[in-house]
Chain A
Amino acid sequence: MPSIAINRLSVRYPFQQDEVLLDVSLNITQGEKVLLLGPSGGGKSTLALALSGIIPRSVEAELKGEVLIDGVDPQLAGIGVMSRKIGILFQDPDTQFCMTTVEDEIAFGLENMGLPQTEMESRINSSMALTGISDRRHAGSQELSGGYKQRLGLACLLAMDQEMLILDEPTANLDPAATEEMFSLLAQLATRSDKTLLFIEHKLDDLLAYIGRVIVLDDGGRVVADGEPRFIFQYKLDMLLELGVWVPRLCMAARDLEQLGMVWSRFPLTIAEWEEGLGEQGISLADSVDRAVVPLQANRLIPISAPLLELEKITFNYREKNVLDDISFTIATGEFVALLGANGSGKSTLVQLLVKLLMPAKGTIRLGGKLIDKLSTKELMRQIGFVFQNPEHQFVRDTVEDELAYGLRILGYTEEQLRIRVGELLHRFKLEPYREQNPFSLSQGQKRRLSVAATLTGDQQLLILDEPTFGQDYVNTVALMELLQELNREGKTILMVTHDMELVKQYASQVIVLHERELLYQGAPELFFEEEDLLRRAAMKRPYSDMLERWKQAYTESGYHLTF
């Protein structure tokens, strides 16, 4: 008997025309490690909730078809029964706990199961040991870092010891170092236990080695592919890209080589397989370590120009705690700068200082040669656009159109100028159909675009963005980044806080790295990725594609050798 049997399942939320899941039929056997892929809003999380019976029990939705978990219908079984069969690790670390301390939180699930105290004690101990949080037993769950919170989330599930775990993007809100730790925990879990694991994840590169099966949903909630990862990523890559789903960088690169003539005896899913495959062809990385030939992208060729933003000896304290210490750097006009650093290294504080949301204890900030202390909010706004992490936070009007016009009105645009400019923005950011809608009713991607558009009041020279791609799917991320690149080419200077090293590699002309309150590095990203020591200290990871590109280069070079 399969542990999960889904027969023609369709789910539709109230007030929505289309189903989020349509006619889904699947069988998953005990112990399978499954990766569920699909565009955002494509029903992955809905499926997770339907499997555990929370849909339709607590989240209202119309459900057709049949779901059986170990032969039990989650709709008929109670909350208690289902919670012993399926555990879910959620995306948001802040909203999956209800108790104040680590041990109470782990105990919560066990209390619900009605376990005796001694049994709880031993389960709490072993699950804390497995997830490496034993030393935080009495810590408040609120004080933990994002990475520790997700480990605690996992500990809660391991203590309950369900046969099936659903991991719904648990690393989406974590920085690269914490993500890696989480993945190594999950990898251990996948190799050591015979639990059925259902991964919903888009940071795929580190995960593939542990996945036995990939299921793909399209934006209509239908299953459009189901098979071994090697098969899916070799033959269904185009379909995945078209759906706007994140695809492993390694598989993309492997496909690129295929198009250059490479014939893989086995399509690679891990870097080891990749090396092996190319090794069979007599290609290794040692032949080509010369970095000088890596071509610089066109957008990096902007000549060094006048300094736009100058920070001198900036120190900032928060409640007597030093957050930034003696930071000095200059950003030249026309740069595309990525501001990097582990969580808590002071990145957000730094960008808030730039727009006077915070005031430094010491030091000066100049914009275009003028001290920003001397500029009013209005003047500052005219020169700097600031985009917040959560788009909803900056909406101040009731329609998309008004939202766009708002900033322009403050700057004294006439109605005629306003009409033209708003029209341009609506068009450029693909928001025309929604001009009358309330900003809060837009989708994630639309909200993000609106928040950027509303910030662009006209002729700012500098655009500051605080983790703008946070929580965005592949399509929206690419759309946003291309937009930024376009603006950058038009001459706007961009300063973007991010964790995503692939984006840094692809778009940034410069990186500024903060580490423990200090400036660790400023310079070209290519050079930073070479500095293994710095990377490690800043809890950063070299982007996968950086390494893959070198391989690609090695391949093409050897290819020439073969042809001529």
Chain B
Amino acid sequence: MLEHWQKHNGFLQQVNPILKLVSLLIVIAAMVTVFDPWTPLAVVVITIALLRLLGGIPLKVIGLFLLPFSLFALSFVWMTVLFPRERGTDILFHLLFVPVTLENVLTGIALGLRSLVFALWSLLFVLTTEPTKLMLGLVQHCKLPPRFGYGMMAAYRFVPLFRQELNQIRAAHQIRGMGESRSLRGRWEQLKRYAIPLLAGAIRKAERVAIAMESKGFDGSRERTYYRKISWTGYDLLYGMLLLLIVASILLLRGMFV
């Protein structure tokens, strides 16, 4: 699923992962300083448009990924409206004797939308960046030691294997009469029972992969060449300019309305 979009031939997928990572961090940092609801709303709309138009990701898919985050955002609104740090004065209506004020609603929406911006930008990064490219980018441009980079890749490959193995262990324990426990203590016991075979398997796998990598001449050093170079291209320039343009127009609009 994820891989399908990561490999999609869109504009965002061509942008250097490092640049995308940096822009993600900047957006998050910038949003922390914003308290009105309009700016995050604009960013949410723009980001969805970017994902759809420049990432080629269908709105349905974006919506699906965003659903859990939206619930999270709604809970923000809810909390801020009902239990505000400082209740506002402009009372809109009463909810079971609790006054709901315009100020609190706006702050709530601002906070909720802000969390959506974080979610959307993380999505933008995850959905349009192949892990391999990210790793290569970090190794080639950010001085990440190859030992960690390639080690992480090997570990990443194991995620589906682990899921598969966990399912097998659960089935095996189930058939031996170990029901899935509901009590806290029972769950803890269960966790321990699953952990041992899973860990035993993981250690063995890790050891084998390490040996296989070493037998192919991997020594973790920087003395290596790269088949895929993560280079800076015109895409990155365009992406950077596009972001600047967006920031500029938001600032302008903010100056006019907020």
B233 within 8 A of A: no
Complex alpha-carbon distance, A69 and B12, angstroms: 50
Residue of A nearest to B196 (CB): A440
Interchain nearest-CB distance for B181 vs A (Å) = 13
Chain B residues in 8 Å Cβ range of A103: 227
Chain B residues in 8 Å Cβ range of A96: 208-209, 212
Q: Are A100 and B157 in contact (CB under 8 A)?
A: yes
A112-B132 contact, Cβ under 8 Å, with A49-B211, A98-B157: no
Interchain nearest-CB distance for A63 vs B (Å) = 16
Q: Are B177 and A407 in contact (CB under 8 A)?
A: yes
A546 within 8 A of B: no
B161 within 8 A of A: yes
Q: Are B175 and A386 in contact (CB under 8 A)?
A: yes
Which of A88, A95, A101, A121 is packed against the most chain B CB atoms within 10 Å? A95
A79-B214 contact, Cβ under 8 Å, with A92-B208, A96-B208, A392-B201: yes
Chain B residues in 8 Å Cβ range of A455: 176
Stretch at the interface among A23-31, A51-59, A169-177, A486-494: A51-59
Of B153, B172, B207, B213, the residue contacting A100 (CB under 8 A) is B153
Chain A residues in 8 Å Cβ range of B218: 79, 98, 108, 112
A80 within 8 A of B: yes
Complex alpha-carbon distance, A189 and B10, angstroms: 42
A393 within 8 A of B: yes
Complex alpha-carbon distance, A241 and B85, angstroms: 81
Complex alpha-carbon distance, A78 and B224, angstroms: 14
Complex alpha-carbon distance, A455 and B208, angstroms: 30
A142 within 8 A of B: yes
Contacts between the two chains (Cβ within 8 Å), count: 157
Chain B residues in 8 Å Cβ range of A407: 176-177
Interchain nearest-CB distance for A55 vs B (Å) = 10
Of B172, B176, B177, B212, the residue contacting A95 (CB under 8 A) is B212
Residue of A nearest to B7 (CB): A138
Complex alpha-carbon distance, A506 and B223, angstroms: 55
Q: Are B208 and A160 in contact (CB under 8 A)?
A: no
Q: Are A160 and B216 in contact (CB under 8 A)?
A: yes
B249 within 8 A of A: no
Complex alpha-carbon distance, A95 and B157, angstroms: 9
B228 within 8 A of A: yes
Mark each residue of chain A from 217 to 233: 1 if its CB lies under 8 Å from any CB of chain B, else 0. Answer: 00000000000000000
Q: Are B132 and A101 in contact (CB under 8 A)?
A: yes
Chain B residues in 8 Å Cβ range of A54: 211, 214-215
Of A79, A95, A394, the residue contacting B205 (CB under 8 A) is A95
Q: Are B168 and A390 in contact (CB under 8 A)?
A: yes
Interchain nearest-CB distance for A385 vs B (Å) = 9
Residue of A nearest to B178 (CB): A396
Chain A residues in 8 Å Cβ range of B156: 100
A167 within 8 A of B: no
Chain B residues in 8 Å Cβ range of A469: none
Complex alpha-carbon distance, A355 and B130, angstroms: 40
Residue of B nearest to A454 (CB): B176
A84-B169 contact, Cβ under 8 Å, with A114-B225, A377-B174: no
Q: Are B208 and A113 in contact (CB under 8 A)?
A: no
Chain B residues in 8 Å Cβ range of A83: 214-217
Complex alpha-carbon distance, A83 and B223, angstroms: 14
Complex alpha-carbon distance, A392 and B173, angstroms: 11
Chain A residues in 8 Å Cβ range of B210: 58
B179 within 8 A of A: yes
Mark each residue of chain A from 465 to 495: 1 if its CB lies under 8 Å from any CB of chain B, else 0. Answer: 0000000000000000000000000000000
Interface size class of B (residues with CB under 8 A): 35 or more
Complex alpha-carbon distance, A90 and B207, angstroms: 13
Chain A residues in 8 Å Cβ range of B173: 394, 396
Q: Are A388 and B177 in contact (CB under 8 A)?
A: no
A362 within 8 A of B: no
Complex alpha-carbon distance, A124 and B156, angstroms: 24
Of B169, B179, B227, the residue contacting A111 (CB under 8 A) is B227
Chain B residues in 8 Å Cβ range of A94: 161, 205
B150 within 8 A of A: yes
Mark each residue of chain A from 101 to 131: 1 if its CB lies under 8 Å from any CB of chain B, else 0. Answer: 1011001111111111100110010000000
Complex alpha-carbon distance, A109 and B161, angstroms: 23
A156 within 8 A of B: yes
Interchain nearest-CB distance for B61 vs A (Å) = 17
B3 within 8 A of A: yes
Q: Are A98 and B208 in contact (CB under 8 A)?
A: no
A59-B211 contact, Cβ under 8 Å, with A95-B205, A104-B227, A381-B177: yes
Q: Are B214 and A381 in contact (CB under 8 A)?
A: no
B154 within 8 A of A: yes
B56 within 8 A of A: no
A99 within 8 A of B: yes
A58-B154 contact, Cβ under 8 Å, with A94-B205, A410-B177: no
Complex alpha-carbon distance, A83 and B212, angstroms: 10
CB within 8 Å of A: which B93-139 residues? 130-132
Q: Are B216 and A90 in contact (CB under 8 A)?
A: no
Chain A residues in 8 Å Cβ range of B151: 98
A352 within 8 A of B: yes
Interchain nearest-CB distance for B163 vs A (Å) = 12
B226 within 8 A of A: yes
Chain A residues in 8 Å Cβ range of B197: 392-393, 395, 440
A523 within 8 A of B: no
Interchain nearest-CB distance for B40 vs A (Å) = 35
A378 within 8 A of B: yes
A406 within 8 A of B: yes
Of B168, B211, B217, the residue contacting A393 (CB under 8 A) is B168
Q: Are A98 and B176 in contact (CB under 8 A)?
A: no
A377-B214 contact, Cβ under 8 Å, with A98-B157, A114-B223: no
Chain A residues in 8 Å Cβ range of B209: 95-98
B160 within 8 A of A: yes
Of A111, A160, A393, the residue contacting B224 (CB under 8 A) is A111
Complex alpha-carbon distance, A63 and B208, angstroms: 20
Residue of B nearest to A378 (CB): B177
Which 4 residue pairs are nearest across A and B when measured between Cβ atoms?
Answer: A83-B217, A107-B227, A112-B217, A98-B154
B: residues with CB less than 8 A from A are 3, 130-132, 150-151, 153-154, 156-157, 160-161, 165, 168-169, 171-179, 193, 196-197, 200-201, 205, 207-219, 223-229
A: residues with CB less than 8 A from B are 49, 52, 54, 57-59, 78-80, 82-84, 86-88, 90, 92, 94-101, 103-104, 107-117, 120-121, 124, 140-142, 156, 160, 352, 355, 357, 377-378, 381, 386, 388-390, 392-396, 406-407, 410, 440, 454-455
Given A87-B215, A104-B227, 14 new contacts (CB under 8 A) = A54-B214, A88-B215, A95-B205, A97-B209, A100-B131, A100-B153, A108-B150, A113-B217, A114-B224, A377-B174, A392-B201, A393-B168, A394-B173, A395-B196
Question: What are 24 A-to-B residue pairs whose CB atoms are below 8 Å?
Answer: A54-B215, A82-B217, A87-B216, A88-B215, A97-B154, A97-B212, A98-B151, A98-B212, A98-B218, A99-B132, A100-B157, A104-B227, A108-B216, A111-B225, A114-B223, A117-B225, A156-B216, A355-B175, A377-B177, A388-B172, A393-B165, A394-B172, A396-B193, A407-B176
